Amino acid sequence: MSIIPKRDQLTPKTFLKAESDMETKYMNPYLAGFFLGLLLLATIYITGRGLGASGAVKSGVITAVETVAPAHTNSAEFYKEYKTEHPGSPLKSWLVFEVAGVLIGALLSGLISNRLNFTLETTPGVQPKIRIVTALAGGLLFGFGSQLGRGCTSGAALSGMAVLSTGGIITMMAIFGGAYGFAWFFRKLWLKNQE
């Protein structure tokens, strides 16, 4: 970490230098992608379904609402539909177990690559306060969008692309297309130091 200059010394050049020095520690993207593809293929071969993530958040939310307001889950349409489609505890779902694994796997990876660190990561020039708000707002939008779009980048876009689902590929294009379209408006959140 010593190679990273202090924040006030950052110029576009040193910033990029520091970034690229850090990145040499990451796996080659094509190799990582190939491994991820093989994992996805194995997942589909074994379980008949792809990977996912946002579904686990949904299970968590439904469990929480069930605990806090059980009467509400019996009357509101969204929860009733979920109940008919997924009888039993919402936590006993495939994606909840998978995401529990994701946490362990990422932790292991962070451990061996020496990246474990409690930190609020911000772009230089962006106040931590702002980062908290953007993280919360971004999460909210993603959580909402993933419910409307029936899956997120993992469940709809990646797994949908692997099985060539029309809906999955449309969602994928909308996510990335949308992000490109909106990127310009939020450039100050990410590009401060490179301008």
Partner 1 sequence: MGPLVPELIGEELNLVIAFFIGIGFGFILEQAGFSTSKKLVGLFYGYDFTVLRVFFTAGITAMLGLVIMAHFSLIDLSMVYVNPTFLWSAVIGGLIMGLGFVVGGFCPGTSFCAAAIGKIDALIFIAGGALGVLVFAEAYPALEPLYKAEFWGNVRIFETLGMSQGLFAFLLTVMALGAFYATGIIEKKVNKGETNEATTRRVFTSFAVVFLILGIAAIFLPDKRESVLSDMNNKEALDGIEFSRISIDELALRLMNNDKKYQIIDTRSEQEYALFHLPGAINVPLEKFYGKENAKVFRDKSVKRIFIGANKEDEIKAAYVATQIGIKDPLVLEGGLQKFREEIIGFDKAEAVNKGLNADTERFRLKAASLIPVLIEKDKQAGAPKKVIKKVMGGC
Rounded-to-integer distance, Cα 58 and Cα 81, Å: 13
Q: How far is the CB of 8 from partner 1 (least distance, A)?
A: 18
Rounded-to-integer distance, Cα 13 and Cα 194, Å: 9
Q: Nearer Cβ to partner 1, position 9 or 129?
A: 129
For residue 10, state whether it binds partner 1 (rule: CB under 8 A).
no
Residue type, 54: S
For residue 69, state whether it binds partner 1 (rule: CB under 8 A).
no
For residue 30, state whether it binds partner 1 (rule: CB under 8 A).
yes
Distances (CA, A) of 124 to 7, 13, 21: 7, 14, 17
Nearest to 49 by CA among 167, 159, 165: 159
For residue 44, state whether it binds partner 1 (rule: CB under 8 A).
yes
Under rule CB under 8 A, which residues in 102-121 are in contact with partner 1?
102-110, 113, 115-121
Q: Report how many residues bind partner 1 under the rule CB under 8 A.
A: 135
Q: How far is the CB of 2 from partner 1 (least distance, A)?
A: 19
